[in-house]
A and B are shown apart, each in its own frame.
Chain A
């Protein structure tokens, strides 16, 4: 694939890289249409390390815990740009409603509390468990305005792709140590892919249904080797928070990173947030961001189109996110699959304890979970509350939880009285963290149970040994908790 050079617009002129790529066009020459991915990547290349591997400047890194920083300082390392780092412990943090009263429920919070002032003075953004902005890292980044269009954001967690919905390049699997030391990261440049989502979204459908449909149609490894941009009129019409849910599952199609081009929806959502560009920079930032979206006529290495017309609310029945079907469909028959899928489907049927040919609708469930970096933002909580209002969780449900994505989301929801809607219906309203998505801190599904979850992974044992995970949108989960079985959200609208 030919490397694309960053087009020097009047704003981007200041972006000239001191180490110019070998095939840089003369200044002012008309540049071929470029994808958003190429524009952002090219602007961040420090140098090429051979083949398609580049050394990139990092703009944001989720990393830099107090202990990590202290260790580096003790080593004599000077961190040039601490403001680029934000760290929020989430995976290991309890969601127990008593975690503020009973500090024995906290893990590792002492370091954040002890060093909060020092970290702030040094210029780091750390949000410890007791910080009023605390929450799931992939909710916090955009929510605080740290994740902005045009950036390169690297971190450890695989769902770092979520931030790409702001119009940036982000991925996980990186250790923050070298990023702290050098402000750079090494990465093999992926190929580019765009998924165009078209058609009409039926009633009750959410962006989670879009991404589950994409993965089931294209395959759970379809994004392997690609950076994926989600585009098309259906994506364009989504509110900002819904776009995070799409990019969140980019990694579940084996793409390193998922992105949505920024637009006025993005800029309006971002404006005024704590770390968004200050007023004195806002117009300049806007002008720069408007150069980022993919140009008309830009060529992707691969393009796919997904039509959402007549697509039903989606649920997964099996052991990877590709095993998604419409709520009105039957459990698939492994023997009817193409040869190379048969073994995988047989294994999935055996583990899921479902019967091929039976409707998925009405499958009994024992637990329901609303939370996770996929769909725990205020608009998700509101949508679930609308389904739940005035109804009660079914008597066969052993646990139904709502875990807001962050303290600000939780407070907003409480200000709107949403927490009472859930608790009156029989849900538990808990403190933010990753929780049951992956079975952390005692927040796991009981062995033998089926849990319908608005999260992003349904692999064997994900939520606990010997458990079955059904992935669905927040509102499908809410409806199923009411029904006590896998439900069609449209009957609850």
Chain B
């Protein structure tokens, strides 16, 4: 069982991270097309660093989390008392769209220990990054997502649990909600399998293919000196 993580942990490592199950409070952030620019803005461009908002954790969602004078915005979910300790985010459609910046995963992880995103759909690169950092993305139909968000709002301080092994979300007082994960993603997360572990058995095949390709498409492998 993963321990709900608090801020102040070391920078998250990419690759070979695992996920089995996680229990924690859920924060509803059910907006659509929230990009990685929103969850992980460039620090300097926020104009907030002069208020001491400068660590990776501080900068998560900075432009919608703080006012222009550096004070907290009370309409941002993690600034509200009932969600300050949340480590599960309930999001909308096309969450994490846009840029590939891994901060979109690592900053909320460092700030609040966010290990699970439950949403209608996710940006394609966000999915890749999430898996690399052992963060689980759960895709469910919008009505179900809305129902989970309503439950979280109506049950402050009550944790829910997300179990990848049994592929089920459990909220006290509610029927368990099953979900499906891409089989490879599930296997990788449950076993903390690194990409290299998956690739290693096929290195010889890859080398053979490369050798053939070098014969068939020699121009791909030519290297011409710059006309210096």
Contacts and interface: CB of A to CB of B under 8 A. Distances in A.
Q: Do A and B bind each other?
A: yes
A355 interface: no
- Interface residues of B, dominant DSSP: helix
Contacts of A464: 45-47
Interface in A169-195: 172-175, 178, 181-184, 186, 188, 190
A47 interface: yes
A55 B201 CA distance: 11
A4 B223 CA distance: 32
Greatest chain B CB density within 10 A among A184, A278, A284 is at A184
29 contacts: A18-B205, A19-B205, A51-B183, A55-B206, A80-B210, A83-B221, A84-B220, A84-B221, A120-B225, A148-B219, A182-B206, A184-B199, A184-B202, A186-B198, A221-B33, A224-B123, A224-B124, A278-B219, A281-B222, A344-B31, A347-B31, A439-B41, A440-B44, A447-B47, A457-B99, A459-B35, A461-B37, A461-B46, A462-B35
A463 B45 contact: yes
A277 B222 contact: yes
Interface string A442-475: 1010010000000001011111111000000000
A274 interface: yes
A7 interface: no
Contacts of A70: none
B125 interface: yes
A255 B124 CA distance: 7
Interface string B191-206: 0000110110011011
A417 interface: no
B208 A18 contact: yes
In this complex, the interface size class of chain A, counting residues with CB under 8 Å from chain B, is 35 or more
Contacts of B31: 343-344, 347
Greatest chain A CB density within 10 A among B48, B182, B216, B221 is at B216
Given A46-B209, A181-B196, A441-B44, 20 more contacts: A14-B216, A15-B216, A18-B212, A55-B202, A57-B206, A184-B199, A188-B184, A190-B124, A224-B123, A254-B124, A344-B33, A439-B45, A444-B44, A457-B98, A459-B35, A460-B63, A461-B38, A462-B35, A465-B41, A465-B68
B48 to A, nearest CB: 6
A461 B213 CA distance: 45
A461 B44 contact: no
Given A221-B33, A464-B46, A49 B198 contact: yes
Contact of A288 (B42, B199, B217, B222): B217
B46 to A, nearest CB: 4
Contacts of A51: 182-184
Contacts of A55: 198-199, 202, 206
Interface in B11-39: 14-15, 31-33, 35, 37-38
Counting from the closest, the 3 A-B pairs by CB-CB distance are A439-B45, A461-B63, A173-B125
Interface of A: 14-19, 46-47, 49-51, 53, 55, 57, 59, 80-81, 83-84, 120, 123, 125, 133, 148, 150-151, 156-158, 172-175, 178, 181-184, 186, 188, 190, 220-221, 224-225, 251-252, 254-256, 274-275, 277-278, 281-282, 284-285, 288, 319-320, 322, 340-341, 343-344, 347, 438-442, 444, 447, 457, 459-466
A172 B97 CA distance: 13
B147 interface: no
A59 B208 CA distance: 15
B140 to A, nearest CB: 15
Nearest to B217: A288
A158 B222 contact: no
B226 interface: yes
- Interface residues of A, dominant DSSP: loop
A460 B158 CA distance: 32
B129 interface: yes
A319 B31 CA distance: 12
Given A80-B210, A178-B196, A465 B125 contact: no
A14 B37 contact: no
A172 B98 CA distance: 11
Nearest to B201: A47
A224 B224 contact: no
Given A46-B205, A133-B226, A447-B68, A254 B41 contact: no
Contacts of A175: 14-15, 132
A281 B218 contact: yes
A14 to B, nearest CB: 4
B10 interface: no
Contacts of B33: 220-221, 319-320, 322, 344
Nearest to A12: B216
Nearest to B94: A221
A460 B68 CA distance: 14
Contacts of B154: none
B124 A173 contact: yes
A37 B220 CA distance: 19
A466 B123 contact: no
B168 interface: no
B196 A278 contact: no
B45 A440 contact: yes
B223 A83 contact: yes
Contact of A182 (B47, B93, B100, B199): B199
